[in-house]
Structure 1
Amino acid sequence: MRIAMAGCRGIPARWGGVERVVEDITAELSHMGHEVIVYGRGGYVPVDQPPTAGRVIVTPGLGGKHLDAITHTFTAMLDVKRRGVDVLHVHSPGPALTSFIAAGHMPIVFTVHAPDWRRDKWSRMAKCVLEAGLACGMKRASAVTAVSEPLARELSARFGRHVEYVPNGVRPPRAGARADVNDMGLTADDYALFVGRIVPEKRLDLLIKCWAGLNVTSTLAVAGEMCSDAYCRHCRDLAQGLNVKFLGGVYGPRLESLYANAAVVVQPSVLEGMSLVLLEAASHARCIVCSDIEENVALLGEAGVYFRVDDGAQLVAALSRCSLEEAFRRRMGSMALSRAKLFDVSRSARSYEAIYTRLVGGG
């Protein structure tokens, strides 16, 4: 089959969960013998990018937080109609707003990776646009998937149509992933790790406040792109005088090393779809402390150390226990690894392949 992917920034993935999912699925589908086109954005896809499994096509669009995704996907929808693809896979609600352009020309699969319409960073108008994109995707798509069971249930109940649960997958850590982290100013097994975008719903500010209340000498390592907005500045201000190290964006082998050497991985987020951070931490057998939102519990089961959403006292207690009890950390890490083995990239790709085949065959 000839498959087109639209709605992500492009591949190879430099940051962003959707991009990493698309890159992994594209590689698997290509290995299965399918031809995959991935639509990307000029500001993300490097001119001298390394070879990827799929063919990357960059279409024009406007920059900026509010117009980037929708304008690039608009031009991708115009382009895809002349590519002779068998199926179009649209990722995320914002890009789905333009899916009506391709509807009628080819089957469309619409995947919801997270409830983007509830993100704190968006204005009321932007949330309305995301809601409209969600509604358009739910109406126009030939098949709809969601990456978590809670999200699939929510969408199915809300829109009255079947939503297939296709979880994200994770690859086993590469050999030698536990490389030295000294060059990042860290000591193995002596730091807690936060990985993610520095945005309000990730609650890094809560984590830093709780870190200040811990009686530990360990470091809190923050791996995430820093920006100049008020929330990023607020987090930096909170960290003044504390043993908190902002590493900026960390990707590839260096990020694997951060996971592999962390004593604990912490995710205080109030909003997720199916967290790749948790999946990757689990694949490295790390002890994971995270908020008890439904999506996290569905992913980790009994393999997570949970605290009530936005409850600083519970977060401090969880971090204290994990810091002091090495045997407990090891046991939870082992359970997390067993959990990660349930989520395989190849299995996810085969699930999507089955959906494509059904649609192309008229099933």
Structure 2
Amino acid sequence: MVYQRRRFERREMRICVTGLRGLPGVMGGVESHCEELLPRILALYPKLAIRLVGRKPYLPEGVAEFKGVEVVSLPSPRQQSLEAIVSTFLAVLHARRYGWRLIHIHAIGPGLLAPLARMVGLRVVLTHHGRDYDRAKWNPFARAMLRLGEWAGVAFAHRVIAVSPSLAEALKQQFPAARGKISYVPNGAPALADSQEGLPEVLSRLGVDERPYVLAVGRLVPEKGFDYLVRAFLDSGTDRQLLIAGAADHETDYSRKLLATAGERVRFLGRQPRSVLRKLYEGADLFVLPSFHEGLPIVALEAASCGAPMLLSDIGANRDIGLAEGNYFPVGDEAALSAALARPRPEFAIDGPAIRSRFDWDVVARETLEIYRLAY
């Protein structure tokens, strides 16, 4: 092992990363994950070369580098049922053509291309960010394809990363032959960039009153549960306001109906940069994540890193954060959520420093680099 490690330290590695829309500043949990993780890996091992292959519709004009990570945009349709598979297919061919030895595929939809990557001679790492077939937006055919992608990714990858302990254990039970190559490596709790504006200035610019608010952050998709959060909030009797920061990747009937619930007490802020989110987290009377489905929720870790009081649905991925029982409510239970929203702020206090120490991006980077070494 000492000899192998020394050889690794002298050796330049070439990693191609795909399965996400792009970076920097592209909305999404996988995108936030890679934005935090990849520069840290490069800082640990400067001989490593990382090229991220993203999707042209999401990347700002002229982006070619982000903190040492090469960013290449390839064509893809901006259609939720096609864009991931098309862009990952092109990324596999790109990696093979330009001599990138290892491809790191993020998410189980893109995992469908793991067999092709193996066929053309690439080493493969898959990060499983969550069981996307549980998302309400997918029809039966799409869910079947996502299940197939999960199987193909786990079966054909040389190493598999699961972002939560409950997910890692479930995969080992589901795919016993792959147990030895499945590792739990979490998302991290990031230290968000600060804004030069104070909270009053941020709220004023967003057109929001300076009074206590409940905050939710995420894409406007059914699995986030924002529709029943709005109903529970309005029924709770609280005199606070509800702020929801986020947008929809693709306009849907759900997002249109959700935005139609906006009013004096419910405000939709759209997608906000992370420096603004930091101010919103720090000033929140309560942060709420009512999701039906998550991997290991980065927005909850962001809120925790800012010390926000927290109330989360009791799905396994949220419980993996390890908060007290009083910080959870039964997922989908509108009445329970409404009752919880009426409880006083101190009941939802958390130990932010303890969470930051458990979910440390620097540790995540070291563990991911070790997995690259094992797979290379």
The reply to whether TM is greater than 0.5 is: yes
Residue 13 of structure 1 is matched in structure 2 by 25
Q: 1:228 to 1:35 in 2, by over 3 A?
A: closer
Among all aligned residue pairs of Structure 1 and Structure 2, give the percentage whose two residues are the same amino acid.
Answer: 33
TM superposition score normalised by structure 1: 0.92
User: What number of residue pairs does the alignment pair up?
Assistant: 353
- How far 1:170 sits from its partner (Å)? 2.3
The letter for the 1-side match of 2:185 is V
Residue 40 of structure 1 is matched in structure 2 by 54
Alignment of 1:135-284 (within 5 A): 135-160=151-176, 161-162=178-179, 163-175=182-194, 179-180=198-199, 181-187=203-209, 190-226=212-248, 228-237=251-260, 239=261, 241=263, 243-284=265-306
Bigger drift between 240-249 and 149-158 goes to 240-249
Q: Distance in 2 between matches of 1:307 and 1:256?
A: 25
* Deviation sequence 1:48-102 (CA, Å, 0-9, x none): 3384020011222333111101001101111101222232111111111112222
Matched, 1:97 2:112: yes
* Deviation sequence 1:176-235 (CA, Å, 0-9, x none): 578323221335661111101111111111111011112222110011114642112222
Q: From 91, 112, 117, give the equivalent of 2:133.
A: 117
Q: 1:358 to 1:241 in 2, by over 3 A?
A: closer
The letter for the 2-side match of 1:166 is V
Q: 1:51 to 1:282 in 2, by over 3 A?
A: same
Give the gaps of 5 or more residues in structure 1.
none
Q: Distance in 1 between matches of 2:127 and 2:368?
A: 10
Q: Distance in 1 between matches of 2:145 and 2:233?
A: 37
Q: Distance in 2 between matches of 1:106 and 1:186?
A: 51
Q: 1:106 to 1:271 in 2, by over 3 A?
A: same
Give the gaps of 5 or more residues in structure 2.
1-12
Q: Determine if contact 2:163/2:185 at 8 Å carries over to the other structure.
A: yes
- How far 1:172 sits from its partner (Å)? 2.2
Q: Distance in 2 between matches of 1:171 and 1:236?
A: 29
* Deviation sequence 1:89-116 (CA, Å, 0-9, x none): 1111111111222215132111110110
- How far 1:311 sits from its partner (Å)? 1.1
Q: Determine if contact 1:146/1:167 at 8 Å carries over to the other structure.
A: yes
* Deviation sequence 1:112-170 (CA, Å, 0-9, x none): 10110111101111111111111111111001111001111111111112221000112
Q: Determine if contact 2:194/2:275 at 8 Å carries over to the other structure.
A: no
* Deviation sequence 1:305-353 (CA, Å, 0-9, x none): 11111111211121111xxx34434xx13x2442232111111111111
SS at match of 1:4: strand
Q: Distance in 1 between matches of 2:43 and 2:111?
A: 27
Q: 1:114 to 1:294 in 2, by over 3 A?
A: same
Q: Distance in 2 between matches of 1:189 and 1:69?
A: 41
TM superposition score normalised by structure 2: 0.89
Alignment of 1:28-107 (within 5 A): 28-32=40-44, 33=46, 34-49=48-63, 51-53=65-67, 54-104=69-119, 105-107=121-123
- How far 1:356 sits from its partner (Å)? 1.0
- How far 1:304 sits from its partner (Å)? 6.1
Q: Distance in 2 between matches of 1:300 and 1:234?
A: 34
